[in-house]
Amino acid sequence: MNLSRISIAGGGIGGLSAALALQHFGYRVAVFEQASELREVGAGVIITPNAMHALNFLGVGERIANEAGPGEALATRHFQTGEILKLRAAGTDYAERYGATYHQVHRVDLHTALASAVRRNDPDCVFLGHRFEALTQDSEKVAARFANGKIYTSDILIGCDGNASKVRESVFGEETVNYTGQVAFRALLPMASVPPSIQERPFAMFVGANRYFLHYPLRRRTVMNLIGVGREPRWQEEGWRIPAPVEEFENLYNDLYPPALQLIRAISPGTLFKWGLRDREPLRQYSKGRVTMLGDAAHPMTPFLGQGACIAIEDAMVLGRAFDAANRIEEALLMYENTRKERANGVQLASRRQADEIQGVTTKGANPGKDALERGLYSYNPVTVPLAGGIQFDPE
Ligand SMILES: Cc1cc2nc3c(=O)[nH]c(=O)nc-3n(C[C@H](O)[C@H](O)[C@H](O)COP(=O)(O)OP(=O)(O)OC[C@H]3O[C@@H](n4cnc5c(N)ncnc54)[C@H](O)[C@@H]3O)c2cc1C
Protein backbone atom coordinates (compact mmCIF):
# COMPACT_ATOMS: atom_id res chain seq x y z
CA MET A 1 0.00 0.00 0.00
CA ASN A 2 1.19 3.46 -0.74
CA LEU A 3 0.67 5.42 2.51
CA SER A 4 2.36 8.69 3.40
CA ARG A 5 2.41 8.17 7.18
CA ILE A 6 0.88 6.14 10.01
CA SER A 7 0.45 7.95 13.34
CA ILE A 8 0.80 6.14 16.65
CA ALA A 9 -0.47 7.75 19.87
CA GLY A 10 1.61 6.48 22.81
CA GLY A 11 5.27 5.49 22.94
CA GLY A 12 5.05 2.60 25.43
CA ILE A 13 5.86 -1.05 24.75
CA GLY A 14 2.83 -1.42 22.45
CA GLY A 15 3.36 1.81 20.50
CA LEU A 16 7.07 1.24 19.91
CA SER A 17 6.52 -2.41 18.94
CA ALA A 18 3.88 -1.30 16.44
CA ALA A 19 6.23 1.36 15.08
CA LEU A 20 9.02 -1.20 14.65
CA ALA A 21 6.77 -3.76 12.97
CA LEU A 22 5.35 -1.20 10.54
CA GLN A 23 8.83 0.14 9.75
CA HIS A 24 9.98 -3.43 9.13
CA PHE A 25 7.35 -3.73 6.39
CA GLY A 26 8.40 -0.43 4.85
CA TYR A 27 5.93 2.06 6.36
CA ARG A 28 6.75 5.51 7.67
CA VAL A 29 5.46 6.10 11.20
CA ALA A 30 5.20 9.00 13.64
CA VAL A 31 4.99 8.16 17.35
CA PHE A 32 3.35 10.81 19.57
CA GLU A 33 4.19 10.39 23.26
CA GLN A 34 2.76 12.59 26.00
CA ALA A 35 5.87 12.46 28.23
CA SER A 36 8.76 14.82 27.67
CA GLU A 37 11.14 11.85 27.39
CA LEU A 38 10.71 8.23 26.37
CA ARG A 39 10.74 6.36 29.67
CA GLU A 40 9.40 3.32 31.46
CA VAL A 41 8.66 2.51 35.08
CA GLY A 42 11.38 0.69 37.04
CA ALA A 43 9.86 -2.78 37.22
CA GLY A 44 10.08 -6.19 35.65
CA VAL A 45 8.08 -7.68 32.83
CA ILE A 46 8.04 -11.35 31.88
CA ILE A 47 8.35 -11.85 28.15
CA THR A 48 7.04 -15.28 27.20
CA PRO A 49 7.70 -17.26 23.95
CA ASN A 50 4.62 -15.90 22.18
CA ALA A 51 6.10 -12.38 22.36
CA MET A 52 9.73 -13.47 21.95
CA HIS A 53 8.88 -14.80 18.48
CA ALA A 54 7.96 -11.26 17.41
CA LEU A 55 10.91 -9.59 19.16
CA ASN A 56 13.29 -12.07 17.49
CA PHE A 57 11.70 -11.46 14.09
CA LEU A 58 11.98 -7.68 14.57
CA GLY A 59 15.67 -7.96 15.47
CA VAL A 60 15.61 -6.96 19.15
CA GLY A 61 15.11 -10.35 20.83
CA GLU A 62 18.79 -11.19 21.19
CA ARG A 63 19.66 -7.89 22.87
CA ILE A 64 16.75 -8.23 25.31
CA ALA A 65 17.60 -11.86 26.12
CA ASN A 66 21.28 -11.01 26.67
CA GLU A 67 20.54 -8.14 29.02
CA ALA A 68 17.97 -10.17 30.99
CA GLY A 69 19.84 -13.48 31.21
CA PRO A 70 18.20 -16.91 31.01
CA GLY A 71 14.59 -17.18 32.20
CA GLU A 72 14.46 -18.71 35.69
CA ALA A 73 12.38 -21.69 36.84
CA LEU A 74 9.27 -20.63 38.77
CA ALA A 75 8.57 -22.06 42.21
CA THR A 76 4.99 -21.73 43.45
CA ARG A 77 5.23 -21.57 47.25
CA HIS A 78 2.90 -21.59 50.23
CA PHE A 79 2.27 -18.04 51.43
CA GLN A 80 3.11 -18.70 55.08
CA THR A 81 5.32 -21.80 55.21
CA GLY A 82 7.29 -21.27 52.00
CA GLU A 83 6.71 -24.95 51.06
CA ILE A 84 7.32 -25.45 47.34
CA LEU A 85 3.97 -26.53 45.84
CA LYS A 86 5.05 -26.66 42.20
CA LEU A 87 8.12 -26.08 39.99
CA ARG A 88 7.87 -24.83 36.43
CA ALA A 89 10.67 -25.30 33.90
CA ALA A 90 13.23 -22.58 33.21
CA GLY A 91 13.02 -20.28 30.18
CA THR A 92 15.53 -22.17 28.06
CA ASP A 93 13.38 -25.35 28.23
CA TYR A 94 10.64 -23.36 26.53
CA ALA A 95 12.68 -23.06 23.36
CA GLU A 96 12.19 -26.78 22.74
CA ARG A 97 8.50 -26.72 23.54
CA TYR A 98 7.48 -23.44 21.94
CA GLY A 99 10.33 -22.46 19.63
CA ALA A 100 11.34 -19.43 21.70
CA THR A 101 12.65 -18.75 25.19
CA TYR A 102 11.13 -16.63 27.95
CA HIS A 103 12.88 -14.01 30.06
CA GLN A 104 12.40 -11.81 33.09
CA VAL A 105 13.18 -8.39 31.65
CA HIS A 106 13.67 -4.92 33.12
CA ARG A 107 10.96 -2.77 31.52
CA VAL A 108 13.48 -0.01 30.90
CA ASP A 109 15.70 -2.42 28.92
CA LEU A 110 12.81 -3.66 26.77
CA HIS A 111 11.58 -0.14 26.12
CA THR A 112 15.10 1.14 25.36
CA ALA A 113 15.78 -1.71 22.92
CA LEU A 114 12.53 -0.97 21.07
CA ALA A 115 13.10 2.80 21.07
CA SER A 116 16.68 2.48 19.78
CA ALA A 117 15.60 0.19 16.96
CA VAL A 118 12.73 2.50 15.96
CA ARG A 119 15.00 5.58 16.01
CA ARG A 120 17.72 3.76 14.10
CA ASN A 121 15.18 3.24 11.32
CA ASP A 122 14.06 6.87 11.46
CA PRO A 123 15.74 9.30 13.91
CA ASP A 124 12.94 11.87 13.66
CA CYS A 125 9.85 9.71 14.07
CA VAL A 126 9.25 10.17 17.82
CA PHE A 127 7.44 13.35 18.91
CA LEU A 128 7.72 13.92 22.66
CA GLY A 129 5.48 16.22 24.72
CA HIS A 130 2.50 15.39 22.49
CA ARG A 131 -0.53 14.43 24.59
CA PHE A 132 -3.29 13.24 22.30
CA GLU A 133 -6.58 15.00 22.99
CA ALA A 134 -9.04 14.54 20.13
CA LEU A 135 -9.43 13.44 16.52
CA THR A 136 -11.50 13.98 13.44
CA GLN A 137 -11.56 11.71 10.40
CA ASP A 138 -13.07 11.46 6.95
CA SER A 139 -12.73 8.99 4.09
CA GLU A 140 -9.21 10.21 3.24
CA LYS A 141 -7.39 11.11 6.43
CA VAL A 142 -7.40 11.35 10.19
CA ALA A 143 -6.34 14.47 12.07
CA ALA A 144 -5.09 14.15 15.66
CA ARG A 145 -5.06 17.17 17.97
CA PHE A 146 -2.58 17.36 20.84
CA ALA A 147 -2.60 19.28 24.13
CA ASN A 148 0.26 21.49 22.87
CA GLY A 149 -2.12 22.82 20.18
CA LYS A 150 -0.52 20.96 17.26
CA ILE A 151 -2.57 19.00 14.75
CA TYR A 152 -1.11 16.18 12.65
CA THR A 153 -2.81 14.54 9.72
CA SER A 154 -2.10 11.01 8.55
CA ASP A 155 -3.59 8.03 6.73
CA ILE A 156 -4.20 6.05 9.89
CA LEU A 157 -4.05 6.57 13.66
CA ILE A 158 -3.23 3.73 16.03
CA GLY A 159 -4.23 4.27 19.66
CA CYS A 160 -1.45 2.81 21.84
CA ASP A 161 -2.09 5.09 24.81
CA GLY A 162 -2.65 2.46 27.45
CA ASN A 163 -5.42 1.40 29.84
CA ALA A 164 -7.15 4.75 30.09
CA SER A 165 -6.84 5.42 26.35
CA LYS A 166 -8.00 8.81 25.18
CA VAL A 167 -8.03 7.57 21.57
CA ARG A 168 -10.44 4.79 22.59
CA GLU A 169 -12.66 7.30 24.35
CA SER A 170 -12.60 9.61 21.30
CA VAL A 171 -13.70 6.79 19.01
CA PHE A 172 -16.02 4.68 21.15
CA GLY A 173 -17.11 7.13 23.87
CA GLU A 174 -16.86 6.89 27.65
CA GLU A 175 -16.99 3.46 29.24
CA THR A 176 -17.71 1.88 32.59
CA VAL A 177 -14.62 1.25 34.68
CA ASN A 178 -14.80 -1.04 37.71
CA TYR A 179 -12.35 -1.01 40.56
CA THR A 180 -11.50 -4.68 41.20
CA GLY A 181 -11.01 -4.16 44.93
CA GLN A 182 -7.35 -5.11 44.52
CA VAL A 183 -4.20 -3.11 44.92
CA ALA A 184 -0.75 -3.94 43.54
CA PHE A 185 2.65 -2.94 44.96
CA ARG A 186 5.96 -2.94 43.12
CA ALA A 187 9.59 -2.30 44.05
CA LEU A 188 13.11 -3.19 42.97
CA LEU A 189 15.88 -4.31 45.33
CA PRO A 190 19.62 -4.68 44.77
CA MET A 191 20.46 -8.39 44.96
CA ALA A 192 22.81 -7.72 47.90
CA SER A 193 19.72 -6.99 50.08
CA VAL A 194 18.12 -10.37 49.27
CA PRO A 195 18.46 -13.23 51.81
CA PRO A 196 20.59 -16.14 50.43
CA SER A 197 17.73 -18.66 50.79
CA ILE A 198 15.59 -16.50 48.48
CA GLN A 199 18.48 -16.05 46.02
CA GLU A 200 18.65 -19.85 45.68
CA ARG A 201 15.11 -19.85 44.19
CA PRO A 202 15.05 -16.36 42.74
CA PHE A 203 11.73 -16.70 40.86
CA ALA A 204 8.90 -17.56 43.24
CA MET A 205 5.26 -16.84 43.73
CA PHE A 206 3.81 -17.08 47.24
CA VAL A 207 0.12 -17.79 46.93
CA GLY A 208 -2.34 -17.26 49.71
CA ALA A 209 -5.99 -16.56 50.25
CA ASN A 210 -6.73 -13.15 48.71
CA ARG A 211 -3.09 -12.25 48.17
CA TYR A 212 0.01 -13.21 46.29
CA PHE A 213 3.62 -12.11 46.41
CA LEU A 214 5.95 -12.57 43.48
CA HIS A 215 9.69 -12.01 43.15
CA TYR A 216 12.01 -12.55 40.22
CA PRO A 217 15.51 -11.39 39.25
CA LEU A 218 16.35 -8.96 36.46
CA ARG A 219 19.52 -7.99 34.62
CA ARG A 220 21.30 -11.30 35.08
CA ARG A 221 20.38 -11.66 38.75
CA THR A 222 21.68 -8.25 39.84
CA VAL A 223 18.29 -6.77 40.74
CA MET A 224 15.24 -8.35 42.41
CA ASN A 225 11.76 -7.34 41.27
CA LEU A 226 8.96 -7.53 43.86
CA ILE A 227 5.22 -7.50 43.20
CA GLY A 228 2.39 -7.98 45.70
CA VAL A 229 -1.29 -8.01 44.85
CA GLY A 230 -3.98 -8.14 47.51
CA ARG A 231 -7.54 -7.15 48.29
CA GLU A 232 -8.12 -3.57 49.33
CA PRO A 233 -11.78 -2.57 49.27
CA ARG A 234 -11.16 1.17 49.32
CA TRP A 235 -10.80 2.87 45.96
CA GLN A 236 -7.23 3.20 44.71
CA GLU A 237 -5.89 5.25 41.84
CA GLU A 238 -4.88 3.54 38.61
CA GLY A 239 -1.48 5.12 37.71
CA TRP A 240 1.67 3.01 37.93
CA ARG A 241 3.78 5.63 39.70
CA ILE A 242 1.91 6.34 42.96
CA PRO A 243 4.40 6.27 45.86
CA ALA A 244 3.45 4.13 48.88
CA PRO A 245 4.92 3.84 52.40
CA VAL A 246 6.73 0.52 53.00
CA GLU A 247 4.69 -0.01 56.21
CA GLU A 248 1.49 -0.23 54.17
CA PHE A 249 2.88 -3.15 52.14
CA GLU A 250 4.41 -4.76 55.23
CA ASN A 251 1.19 -4.54 57.27
CA LEU A 252 -0.85 -6.22 54.54
CA TYR A 253 1.72 -9.03 54.20
CA ASN A 254 2.90 -9.46 57.82
CA ASP A 255 2.10 -13.21 57.86
CA LEU A 256 4.20 -13.89 54.71
CA TYR A 257 6.95 -16.55 54.86
CA PRO A 258 9.59 -14.72 56.96
CA PRO A 259 12.51 -14.72 54.46
CA ALA A 260 10.16 -13.31 51.81
CA LEU A 261 8.83 -10.73 54.27
CA GLN A 262 12.45 -9.61 54.72
CA LEU A 263 12.38 -8.55 51.06
CA ILE A 264 9.51 -6.17 51.76
CA ARG A 265 11.27 -4.83 54.85
CA ALA A 266 14.43 -4.18 52.79
CA ILE A 267 12.66 -1.80 50.38
CA SER A 268 14.16 1.69 50.64
CA PRO A 269 11.66 4.45 51.49
CA GLY A 270 10.58 6.27 48.35
CA THR A 271 11.08 3.26 46.06
CA LEU A 272 7.74 1.49 46.64
CA PHE A 273 4.82 2.19 44.29
CA LYS A 274 1.24 0.99 44.23
CA TRP A 275 -1.74 1.10 41.91
CA GLY A 276 -5.39 0.12 42.06
CA LEU A 277 -6.43 -2.51 39.53
CA ARG A 278 -9.35 -1.52 37.38
CA ASP A 279 -11.27 -3.72 35.03
CA ARG A 280 -12.99 -2.89 31.76
CA GLU A 281 -15.16 -4.91 29.43
CA PRO A 282 -13.59 -6.15 26.15
CA LEU A 283 -14.12 -3.94 23.12
CA ARG A 284 -16.61 -5.26 20.55
CA GLN A 285 -14.50 -3.75 17.77
CA TYR A 286 -10.96 -2.33 17.67
CA SER A 287 -11.26 -0.10 14.62
CA LYS A 288 -13.52 2.61 13.35
CA GLY A 289 -12.77 4.22 9.99
CA ARG A 290 -9.08 5.05 9.92
CA VAL A 291 -8.44 4.57 13.63
CA THR A 292 -7.58 1.36 15.44
CA MET A 293 -6.48 0.35 18.92
CA LEU A 294 -3.53 -1.76 20.07
CA GLY A 295 -2.14 -3.08 23.39
CA ASP A 296 -3.79 -1.98 26.63
CA ALA A 297 -5.80 0.60 24.68
CA ALA A 298 -7.51 -2.25 22.80
CA HIS A 299 -7.79 -4.76 25.63
CA PRO A 300 -6.97 -3.26 29.03
CA MET A 301 -6.31 -6.26 31.24
CA THR A 302 -5.66 -7.06 34.87
CA PRO A 303 -2.13 -8.39 35.56
CA PHE A 304 -3.05 -11.89 36.78
CA LEU A 305 -1.69 -13.68 33.74
CA GLY A 306 1.27 -11.29 33.28
CA GLN A 307 0.46 -11.03 29.57
CA GLY A 308 -0.43 -7.38 28.90
CA ALA A 309 2.90 -6.48 27.30
CA CYS A 310 3.22 -9.80 25.48
CA ILE A 311 -0.23 -9.45 23.93
CA ALA A 312 0.61 -5.85 22.90
CA ILE A 313 3.75 -7.16 21.13
CA GLU A 314 1.68 -9.89 19.43
CA ASP A 315 -0.78 -7.20 18.26
CA ALA A 316 2.06 -5.14 16.81
CA MET A 317 3.50 -8.07 14.86
CA VAL A 318 0.11 -8.99 13.38
CA LEU A 319 -0.67 -5.34 12.57
CA GLY A 320 2.59 -5.05 10.59
CA ARG A 321 1.88 -8.29 8.72
CA ALA A 322 -1.69 -7.20 7.93
CA PHE A 323 -0.41 -3.93 6.43
CA ASP A 324 2.09 -5.94 4.41
CA ALA A 325 -0.53 -8.38 3.14
CA ALA A 326 -3.46 -6.06 2.41
CA ASN A 327 -4.11 -3.88 -0.61
CA ARG A 328 -6.32 -1.31 1.07
CA ILE A 329 -6.40 0.34 4.49
CA GLU A 330 -9.87 -1.03 5.33
CA GLU A 331 -8.69 -4.51 4.46
CA ALA A 332 -5.55 -4.21 6.61
CA LEU A 333 -7.46 -2.94 9.64
CA LEU A 334 -10.07 -5.66 9.33
CA MET A 335 -7.41 -8.33 8.90
CA TYR A 336 -5.65 -7.08 12.04
CA GLU A 337 -8.84 -6.97 14.07
CA ASN A 338 -10.15 -10.32 12.83
CA THR A 339 -6.84 -12.02 13.59
CA ARG A 340 -6.42 -10.49 17.01
CA LYS A 341 -9.75 -9.85 18.68
CA GLU A 342 -10.68 -13.34 19.80
CA ARG A 343 -7.19 -14.07 21.10
CA ALA A 344 -6.58 -10.75 22.89
CA ASN A 345 -10.09 -10.36 24.32
CA GLY A 346 -9.91 -14.00 25.41
CA VAL A 347 -6.70 -13.30 27.35
CA GLN A 348 -8.30 -10.18 28.85
CA LEU A 349 -11.19 -12.29 30.21
CA ALA A 350 -8.94 -15.18 31.26
CA SER A 351 -6.80 -12.70 33.19
CA ARG A 352 -9.86 -11.50 35.09
CA ARG A 353 -10.79 -15.09 36.03
CA GLN A 354 -7.22 -15.85 37.05
CA ALA A 355 -7.38 -13.41 40.00
CA ASP A 356 -9.50 -15.79 42.05
CA GLU A 357 -7.59 -18.84 40.86
CA ILE A 358 -4.21 -17.50 41.96
CA GLN A 359 -5.37 -16.09 45.24
CA GLY A 360 -7.29 -19.21 46.23
CA VAL A 361 -4.40 -21.62 45.74
CA THR A 362 -2.81 -22.78 48.95
CA THR A 363 -2.50 -26.52 48.48
CA LYS A 364 -0.68 -28.88 46.13
CA GLY A 365 -2.36 -29.62 42.86
CA ALA A 366 -4.71 -26.68 42.95
CA ASN A 367 -5.22 -24.40 39.94
CA PRO A 368 -5.24 -27.38 37.55
CA GLY A 369 -6.26 -25.38 34.47
CA LYS A 370 -3.11 -23.20 34.62
CA ASP A 371 -0.88 -25.55 32.59
CA ALA A 372 -3.38 -25.80 29.73
CA LEU A 373 -3.89 -22.05 29.84
CA GLU A 374 -0.13 -21.49 29.61
CA ARG A 375 0.18 -23.87 26.68
CA GLY A 376 -2.53 -21.89 24.88
CA LEU A 377 -0.77 -18.62 25.64
CA TYR A 378 2.80 -19.60 24.83
CA SER A 379 2.21 -21.74 21.75
CA TYR A 380 0.85 -18.77 19.75
CA ASN A 381 3.30 -17.41 17.21
CA PRO A 382 2.32 -13.96 15.88
CA VAL A 383 4.94 -14.21 13.13
CA THR A 384 3.31 -17.24 11.52
CA VAL A 385 -0.30 -17.29 12.72
CA PRO A 386 -2.57 -17.25 9.65
CA LEU A 387 -4.08 -13.82 9.04
CA ALA A 388 -7.85 -13.86 9.16
CA GLY A 389 -9.59 -12.56 6.04
CA GLY A 390 -9.73 -8.82 5.74
CA ILE A 391 -12.43 -8.42 3.17
CA GLN A 392 -15.83 -7.48 4.43
CA PHE A 393 -18.71 -8.30 2.11
CA ASP A 394 -21.73 -6.08 2.21
CA PRO A 395 -24.74 -8.14 3.24
CA GLU A 396 -27.26 -8.28 0.38
C1 LIG B 1 4.44 -3.47 37.36
C2 LIG B 1 3.87 -4.12 36.13
C3 LIG B 1 4.23 -5.42 35.82
C4 LIG B 1 3.74 -6.01 34.65
N5 LIG B 1 4.16 -7.27 34.36
C6 LIG B 1 3.86 -7.79 33.14
C7 LIG B 1 4.44 -9.01 32.73
O8 LIG B 1 5.18 -9.66 33.46
N9 LIG B 1 4.17 -9.47 31.45
C10 LIG B 1 3.35 -8.76 30.61
O11 LIG B 1 3.17 -9.19 29.46
N12 LIG B 1 2.76 -7.60 31.00
C13 LIG B 1 3.00 -7.09 32.23
N14 LIG B 1 2.45 -5.92 32.62
C15 LIG B 1 1.47 -5.25 31.76
C16 LIG B 1 2.15 -4.48 30.67
O17 LIG B 1 3.17 -3.70 31.18
C18 LIG B 1 1.17 -3.62 29.90
O19 LIG B 1 0.12 -4.43 29.42
C20 LIG B 1 1.91 -2.96 28.74
O21 LIG B 1 2.76 -1.96 29.25
C22 LIG B 1 0.94 -2.36 27.73
O23 LIG B 1 1.65 -1.57 26.82
P24 LIG B 1 0.96 -0.36 26.07
O25 LIG B 1 2.01 0.24 25.24
O26 LIG B 1 -0.31 -0.83 25.45
O27 LIG B 1 0.52 0.63 27.23
P28 LIG B 1 1.45 1.46 28.21
O29 LIG B 1 2.62 0.68 28.63
O30 LIG B 1 0.53 2.00 29.26
O31 LIG B 1 1.98 2.68 27.32
C32 LIG B 1 1.14 3.74 26.95
C33 LIG B 1 1.99 4.90 26.52
O34 LIG B 1 1.13 5.91 26.02
C35 LIG B 1 1.44 7.15 26.63
N36 LIG B 1 0.19 7.92 26.66
C37 LIG B 1 -0.87 7.77 27.49
N38 LIG B 1 -1.84 8.65 27.20
C39 LIG B 1 -1.38 9.38 26.14
C40 LIG B 1 -1.94 10.44 25.36
N41 LIG B 1 -3.16 10.92 25.63
N42 LIG B 1 -1.21 10.94 24.34
C43 LIG B 1 0.05 10.45 24.05
N44 LIG B 1 0.63 9.47 24.78
C45 LIG B 1 -0.09 8.91 25.80
C46 LIG B 1 1.99 6.79 27.98
O47 LIG B 1 2.80 7.82 28.52
C48 LIG B 1 2.79 5.52 27.65
O49 LIG B 1 4.08 5.82 27.19
C50 LIG B 1 2.86 -5.31 33.81
C51 LIG B 1 2.47 -4.01 34.15
C52 LIG B 1 2.98 -3.42 35.29
C53 LIG B 1 2.60 -2.02 35.64
Helix (H, G, I), strand (E, B) or coil at 94: helix
Mean pLDDT, range 118-127, rounded to an integer: 98
pLDDT at 56: 98
Report the separation in Å between the CA atom of 42 and the middle of ligand 1, taken as the mean of its atom positions. 12
Q: Which residues pair with 216 in a beta bridge?
A: 225
Report DSSP letters for 18-43, one per residue.
HHHHHHHTT--EEEE-SSSS----S-
> CA angle 253-258-260, nearest 5°?
70
Antiparallel, parallel or unpaired: β 29-32 and 44-47: unpaired
> Could you read off the pLDDT of 264-314 as tens digits, one per residue?
999 999 999 998 888 888 999 999 999 999 999 999 998 889 999 999 999
In 3D space, the residue among 105, 107, 106, 101 whose CA is nearest the CA of residue 89 turns out to be: 101
**Which residue minimizes the CA distance to atom 24 of ligand 1?**
14
Nearest atom of ligand 1 to the alpha carbon of 184: 1
How many other C-beta atoms are found inside a 10 Å radius of the C-beta of residue 236?
Answer: 20
d(CA 97, CA 246): 40
Mean pLDDT, range 336-340, rounded to an integer: 97
Give, for ligand 1, the residue of 163, 291, 296 to mutate: max count of ligand atoms closer than 8 Å to Cβ. 296
Report the separation in Å between the CA atom of 379 and the middle of ligand 1, taken as the mean of its atom positions. 23
Contacts of 212 (CB under 8 A, 6+ apart): 79, 205, 206, 228, 229, 230, 358, 359
The CA distances from residue 334 to 114, 187, 293, in Å, are: 26, 40, 12
Report the separation in Å between the CA atom of 117 and the middle of ligand 1, taken as the mean of its atom positions. 19
**Which residue minimizes the CA distance to atom 20 of ligand 1?**
309
> Could you read off the pLDDT of 172-190 as tens digits, one per residue?
998 888 888 888 999 999 9
Report the separation in Å between the CA atom of 152 and the middle of ligand 1, taken as the mean of its atom positions. 23
Nearest atom of ligand 1 to the alpha carbon of 11: 49
For residue 131, the Cα-to-chain-centroid distance in whole angstroms is: 21
Comparison of pLDDT for 89 and 334, the residue scoring more: 334
Comparison of pLDDT for 2 and 223, the residue scoring more: 223
Helix (H, G, I), strand (E, B) or coil at 17: helix
Report the separation in Å between the CA atom of 303 and the middle of ligand 1, taken as the mean of its atom positions. 11
- Residue type for position 303: P
**Which residue minimizes the CA distance to atom 30 of ligand 1?**
162
The percentage of the chain sitting over the pLDDT mark of 90, rounded to a whole number, equals 76
Report the separation in Å between the CA atom of 110 and the middle of ligand 1, taken as the mean of its atom positions. 12
**Is residue 380 a contact partner of residue 313, using CB atoms and an 8 Å limit?**
no
Nearest atom of ligand 1 to the alpha carbon of 227: 1
> Could you read off the pLDDT of 33-42 as tens digits, one per residue?
999 988 888 8
Which range is least confidently modeled, 80-89, 229-238, 311-320?
A: 229-238
Report the separation in Å between the CA atom of 324 and the middle of ligand 1, taken as the mean of its atom positions. 26
Report the separation in Å between the CA atom of 252 and the middle of ligand 1, taken as the mean of its atom positions. 26
Comparison of pLDDT for 138 and 371, the residue scoring more: 138
Q: Provide residues with CB under 6 Å of ligand 1.
A: 9-15, 32-35, 43, 45-46, 131-132, 160-162, 166, 186, 240, 295-297, 303, 306-310, 312
d(CA 126, CA 192): 38
d(CA 258, CA 206): 12
